[in-house]
Structure 1
Amino acid sequence: MRAVVQRVDGASVTVADAGGEGGGSAVVGEIVGEGLCVLVGVTHGDTAEKAAQLARKLWSVRILEGEKSCSDVNAPLLVISQFTLYGDARKGRRPTWNAAAPGEIAEPLVDEVVAQLRALGAQVETGRFGADMRVSLTNHGPFTVIVEV
């Protein structure tokens, strides 16, 4: 599993209204104030154990202001599935997605990361798996790290 983790001062994710004729969008996940926006990618061979390991790392990594973790200050996390984290653009002009796990494998593992974070006591908001999402955030720092388990 791979995660791109950004320290933020607020973040939200919207999706287009399903079937809406107005072409509007709806916020499906939002955090206010200091927290983490986390894009999660799943590859072949990832397991529920790796999802739990990633959740523990996200909850305890000390990248918030003053070298604090989400667990230290009860900061929220916005977790969004992102299969493109396993894109490979080394050859040609089009990335390949061969390393990304298919949706039927990836979705339950992203859900497991969220469930494990909540079991640790985290406030977690999410995107919508497979949806065309728009993510808005204020990156604090800017501060972005990649976490792999």
Structure 2
Amino acid sequence: MRLLIQRVTEARVEVGGEIKGRTGPGLLVLVCAMAGDTEAVIAPLAAKLSKLRIFPDEAGKMNRSVLDASGGILVVSQFTLAADTRRGNRPGFSGAAAPETGRHLYELFARELSALGIPVETGVFGADMQVHLINDGPVTIWMDTEERG
């Protein structure tokens, strides 16, 4: 799986002008299930994300996790993270998991984060969404479950 993690002061996702998910201080996590991903990657990835020390401590050093900071997470599906731009000018997305697999892994990932005690909200899988955020820092981190060529 691929994640694009952004530390935010707030974020929300809308579909058709209606807010479907939001968070205050915490993380906006864009998620893409890649071809070949299985349920086995979900728990370790959620655990790693929950412990990622990217929030400031009292000294201003990034030393606290989203759990330590009592933050929330807004999880949004984004298959375009699978874009392959190595050839031509039109990105290819064949590296993304099939939609049914992608939906299942996305939903499982959100549930796993919630089971860790983190307030989690989500976007709508496969919908045309508008994502609004205020990136804090800015802090933006890329995470991939395996190295890809």
TM-score norm. by structure 1 comes to: 0.91
CA deviation vs aligned residue, 1:15-61 (integer Å, no higher than 9, x gap): 01xxxxxxxx10000112x2000001111111112011111111110
Q: Which has the higher helix share?
A: 1
CA deviation vs aligned residue, 1:86-107 (integer Å, no higher than 9, x gap): 1111111100001011110100
Question: Runs of 4+ in structure 1 displaced over 4 angstroms?
Answer: none
Aligned pair count? Answer: 140
2:124 is matched with 128
- Deviation at residue 70 of structure 1 after TM alignment: 1.1
Q: Let me know the Cα RMSD of the aligned residues.
A: 0.8
1:92 is matched with 88
Distance 1:96 1:40 in 2: 17
1:113 is matched with 109
CA deviation vs aligned residue, 1:54-95 (integer Å, no higher than 9, x gap): 111111100112221011122100000110001111111100
2:3 is matched with 3
Tell me the secondary structure at the aligned position of residue 73 of structure 1: coil
> Does residue 1:141 correspond to 2:137, yes or no?
yes
Distance 2:27 2:55 in 1: 8
Distance 1:145 1:75 in 2: 17
Distance 1:74 1:129 in 2: 26
User: Unmatched 5+ residue regions in structure 1?
Assistant: 17-24
- Give 2:13's aligned amino acid: V
User: Unmatched 5+ residue regions in structure 2?
Assistant: 58-62
Identical columns (%): 44
Tell me the secondary structure at the aligned position of residue 94 of structure 1: coil
1:36 is matched with 27
> Does residue 1:77 correspond to 2:69, yes or no?
no
TM-score norm. by structure 2 comes to: 0.91
- The one of 19, 38, 45 aligned to 1:27: 19
Distance 1:77 1:7 in 2: 9
- The one of 58, 65, 80 aligned to 2:56: 65
